[in-house]
Amino acid sequence: MRQWNSKRACGTSRYLLRSKRQKDEPEDAAECEEIMIEVAVMGYGTVGSGVVEVIEKNKAEINQKAGEEINIKYILDLRDFPGDPYADKVVHDVEVILNDPEIQIICETMGGLKPAYEFTKRALLSGKSVCTSNKELVATHGPELIHIAHENKCNYLFEASVGGGIPIIRPLNYSLTAEKIDGISGILNGTTNYILTKMEKEGAGFEEILKQAQDLGYAERNPEADVEGYDACRKIAILSSLMCGKNVRYQDIYTEGITKITTEDFVYAKAMGRTIKLLGKSREEDGKLYAMVAPFMISMDNPLSMVNDVFNAVCVHGNMLGDSMYYGRGAGKLPTASAVVSDVVDCARHIGKVIMCFWDQQDIALTDIKQSSRRFFVRTVQDKESLALQEFESVSVITADVAGEFAFVTEKMTEKEFDEKAQKVGIISRIRID
């Protein structure tokens, strides 16, 4: 570990005060030795450049809270950045970082599984802590990487992998440890929330608003991961794993996106005093764990109904606390980077120590959602009214300014029961009621 002399006031950081060795000697700031924490950033894209910006702009505050001087020594990227103020820190070979004993913390902001998984694993095996925003990697290999980190007296932290800058991972790991968490529900994708908000407020169709989101940079040219719910699926898998302490495979979670939501659905929702949100949901009930991602009609009394545009929010239910909510910007350069840097600070405070994370490698089997029960909003053609009433029996009829349709809300029933009845009737669409 490299040490250097600092003339700054010793009280702002955790300094080794040689002057204190002799009681009668005054404290001389020039005699203070500060322990510097060397950091590497892997990936100099949107989030990676944000990490560098946050550390440099908020250096004084970060160093004070970390108790150490945080210094970015390397930035890994395949590209060169001529004219960039940090161009001299850019390296193209990961071995430079992995083989440097001074590097203690790595920020992995590359995204994807390759080569992020290999680089992260090797870093942890060498005793270097890793902080990441890579939700795909965390959802796929999180428990393995946490285990490797703990075996090597370092840490794998991933606050930025869910909810961007919203603190949610740390509360689940630390703040709510006295709780039995039995339910998590949240708006976990800013792109889809933006699209649904605009569809509701402007009365425009999905495709039109999607193009707007792409033009504004809120949606990728290939928006599949967002609009089909895959991004939210990985995030609820991470949260569900932390909730139950075992590994919830995102591949096992029922996932449904927003591509089938129409302007007519919002007309009905308004008539019902509701709105439509894409929710990631997980709950433990009678020893069974349910998890899913799908659009839901929610009451305007639900706090999630007020979360609009690119904002995210997560509601957590504990058996003692009841409900708590975590709200903020769920994506973006600086909010996400801020979360990564908060993990850097945590790692700096715990050099050589393990930060506990309750996420076991053992997979847990999810209960088939067909066994879960709820109400459903249903649209069918007007000619099917009699058949629908016969099949679903007791329903609440919904009247709205939509011609040629019969709409209703079912009583509470299992997903399996609903599918069987809906198949007999033939429906235009259905949305789950929360």
Catalytic machinery residues: 235
For 85, 172, 301, 311, the CA distances from 331, given in Å and listed in that order, are 25, 20, 25, 8
Question: How many of the other CB atoms lie within 10 Å of CB of 147?
Answer: 16
Q: Are 152 and 123 in contact (CB under 8 A)?
A: no
* Short-list 157, 237, 227, CA closest to 189: 227
Phi, then psi, of 407 in degrees rounded to 5: -125, 145
Tell me how many degrees the CA angle 135-182-276 measures, rounded to the nearest 5: 65
What whole-number distance in Å separates Cα of residue 342 and Cα of residue 322? 27
Tell me how many degrees the CA angle 155-157-159 measures, rounded to the nearest 5: 165
Residues listed for the chain = 434
The secondary structure of 313-346, three-state, reads EEEEEECCCEEEEEEEECCCHHHHHHHHHHHHHH
